[in-house]
A and B are shown apart, each in its own frame.
Chain A
Amino acid sequence: MNKSYNFALTKAVVTVIVGAPCLFSQPKPEVILPPTVEGNWVRTDENHSGSFDGLTDTYKQAELTEEGKTLFARFGGRRPQEPSANDPTHKPGQPYVTNPRPCGFNQGQIGLEYDSEGFHAVMNKEHITFVQARGWQRLVYLDGRKAPDPSNRTPTNSGYSIGHMEPNGTLVIETTDMVPSRVTAGGVRSAETIVKQEYIPDPDGKRLKQVFTYIDPKLYVKPHVYEYTFERMEPGAYALETFCDATDPLWGQTVVPPPQ
C-alpha cells in the first residue's frame, strides 16, 4: 500500500509541475457582453438645438483656475479666415470657400470627441480603434500597458489612451499627452491634463453615454465634467467617406443655415 501511495504521490507532484505551464497556456474563454461600445454610433441632439454649439451651450461651464484662464485665453477663437456658420458677413445660401486647413495638414486626426457624423468602434484583444468618416484613427490600448514616459512622445490631438472594460460593458479610458487646446464648455487642456472617458452602454446596447472628466488641478478648480449620448446605428449601417480634396471648391465651404 505504501508503495502505491508513494507512486501516486510522486506521479501527482510530477504531473502538477510539468502540467502547470500548459494550464496557463489554455485559451481563456471570450467574455461576450451584450452591451458593448463596439459598432456604429451616431450622436444625439438631446436638447434639440440643431447645432453643435447649441448642444454644448447648455453644458455646465468649466471652473478654471487663473492658470487655466490664462491658457484658455491663449487659444483664441476661430481664425479670421475661417468663418463659422454663424458668421454675420455671410448671407444665407451663399457658398464660400474657406479651406483654411486643406487636406493633408493633419490627416484629419480625430480627437476625443465625435461630431455629428458619428463614430465607428472595432475592438480586438489588444485595443479598440475609433474612427470617423474622415481619415486617421484613435487607438485605446486595453492590454494593460502603461503610458510611456512623456519625454518619449509628441503630443497629438487624440493623445495616448489606455483603458479597460468593466463587467457591465462600460469602457473606461484615461488619456494624456494631448495637444493643448480649448475643450467643450469653456474648458482647456494641456499635455499633462488627464481626461477620463467612460463609454457606458445601456443594458440593451442601443444607446451609449459618453462621460468626460477633465482632471488637472493646475487648470481646473474642480474636475470638468460633461457628457454626450449616442444611438447605435441600424443593422447594416456603414461608414461614409470624407474624401478631402483641396481642389474641390465645395470642400471648405461654410454651410450657412437659412433664416429660421
Chain B
Amino acid sequence: MSKIKSRFNFMAVVLNCAFGAGVLTAQIQMVTMPADPVDPHDLSGYWELGPDGRSIPNAALVASITPAALKAVEDGDKISMRWCRPLGMPAQMDSGRPIAITQGRWEMMMTFEANTSHRHMYFREKHVDPAIWDPTSVGDSIAHWEGDTLVVDTVGFHAKNGRLMIPGGGYRTENSHLVERFKLIKNGQVLSVTSTWSDASVFKSPHSYEYRYTRIPGRYEPRPAPGCNPWDDERTEYIEQTFSPVLKAAAEAAGVKPGTEVPVK
C-alpha cells in the first residue's frame, strides 16, 4: 500500500510540473494576449483598409515632373479605368475591397476582390534575372523577415500596364523600386504596411507612406469582383462625363471593337 501511495505521490508531482508551467503560461497569456496567440510571422488573413487607414505625406518630386507631366499620367490612369484594365501596383493595395493574404511555405500570396493580378511574394534571396523577366503591373517581389517585419522588395514593373499614380504624388516607371514593410500590430488585429518608392527620375528622395489594414474577424469568405464591361455604352458615358473632350477622344481612340480585323504585320 505504501508503495502504491509513493508511486501515486510521484505521479502527482510529475503532473504538477507538467501542468503547472502550462497553467502559468496560460495565465500570463490571458492577461496580455487574446485567446488565440498571434504568430507575428504569419500575416495570413483578410484585411481591409478603413477610412482612417492611410497616412500619406506629399512626395518630393524632381523638377522634371511638371504638373503637365503628372496630368498626362493621371489621364492615362483614367483611360485605364474606362477600359477596365487591371489596377496594378500600387492602386490594388487600395481597391476598396478586402485583401486576402495566404502565407505558405515558399511564398506569401496576395489576392484581391478586384480586377487585378495576384501578388506573389517569394521567400527567395534574388529577383528573377532581368534579362528574362517580362515586366508586369505588380512587379517581381521577394520577401524576407527582419525580426517581426516582413520586408518585400519589388522591381520589374511594366512601364504602362496598370494605374501608375502613387499616393502622395508621382508615378511609377519601369525603373521604380518598391520596398514594403509588413508588420502586425495591436495583437495581430492590424497590419501596418509601409511602402517606400525609389525612382531617381521621379522622386528627389524615397517616398514613404503607411497603410493600416484591419483584420476581418470570423470566417470571412471572399466574393467575386464587381464586373466591368468596357463595351457597355451606358457605363462609358457615365465614366467619361468628367473627361475633357480631348481626353474622351483619346480614350475612345484606344479601343478596338470586338470582331475588328487588324492588319497583319
Contacts and interface: CB of A to CB of B under 8 A. Distances in A.
B104 A5 contact: no
Nearest to B25: A22
B258 A100 contact: yes
B201 interface: no
B19 A4 contact: no
Contact of A38 (B8, B105, B114, B225): B105
A246 B128 contact: no
A120 interface: yes
Contact of B85 (A128, A238, A243): A243
6 contacts: A18-B19, A25-B22, A97-B259, A123-B105, A127-B102, A241-B137
B134 interface: yes
Interface residues of B, number: 70
Contacts of A93: 264
Most chain-A CB neighbours within 10 Å: which of B18, B83, B227?
B83
A5 B22 CA distance: 24
Nearest to A23: B22
A131 B111 contact: yes
Interface string B208-219: 000000000001
A156 to B, nearest CB: 6
B192 to A, nearest CB: 20
Interface stretch (A67-75, A134-142, A192-200, A219-227): A134-142
Given A94-B264, A96-B261, A135-B118, 17 more contacts: A11-B16, A12-B16, A15-B19, A16-B15, A19-B15, A95-B262, A97-B259, A103-B84, A103-B85, A105-B227, A107-B227, A129-B109, A136-B224, A241-B137, A245-B83, A246-B230, A249-B262
B103 interface: yes
Contacts of B19: 15-16, 18-20, 22-23
A122 B107 contact: yes
Contact of A156 (B84, B103, B224): B224
| Size bracket, chain A contacts | 35 or more
Contacts of B107: 122
Contacts of B23: 15, 18-19, 22
A9 interface: yes
Contact of B120 (A15, A18, A238, A250): A238
B117 interface: yes
Contact of A239 (B15, B44, B120): B120
B86 A243 contact: yes
Interface string B54-72: 0000000000000000000
A104 interface: yes
Q: Is the interface of A mostly helix, strand, loop or mixed?
A: loop
B256 A247 contact: yes
Interface in B84-131: 84-86, 100, 102-109, 111-112, 114-118, 120, 122, 124, 128
Interface of B: 2, 5, 8-9, 11-13, 15-16, 18-20, 22-23, 25-26, 29, 42, 44, 83-86, 100, 102-109, 111-112, 114-118, 120, 122, 124, 128, 134, 136-138, 140, 158, 161-162, 219, 221-222, 224-225, 227-231, 254-256, 258-262, 264
A135 to B, nearest CB: 6
Contacts of A16: 15, 19
A100 B106 CA distance: 37
Interface of A: 1, 4-5, 8-9, 11-12, 15-16, 18-23, 25-26, 36, 38-39, 81, 93-100, 102-107, 109, 120-129, 131, 135-137, 139, 145, 156, 236, 238-247, 249-250, 252-253
Contacts of A100: 258
Contact of A5 (B9, B20, B102, B112): B9
A11 B258 CA distance: 80
A102 B106 contact: no
A129 B221 CA distance: 12
Given A100-B258, A104-B84, A122-B104, A4 B9 contact: yes
A135 B116 contact: yes
Contact of A123 (B84, B102, B116, B124): B102
A78 to B, nearest CB: 14
B83 A247 contact: yes
Lowest 4 A-B CB distances belong to which pairs? A19-B19, A104-B228, A104-B84, A22-B22
A36 B105 CA distance: 11
A1 B219 CA distance: 55
Contact of A243 (B9, B26, B117, B120): B117
Nearest to A123: B104
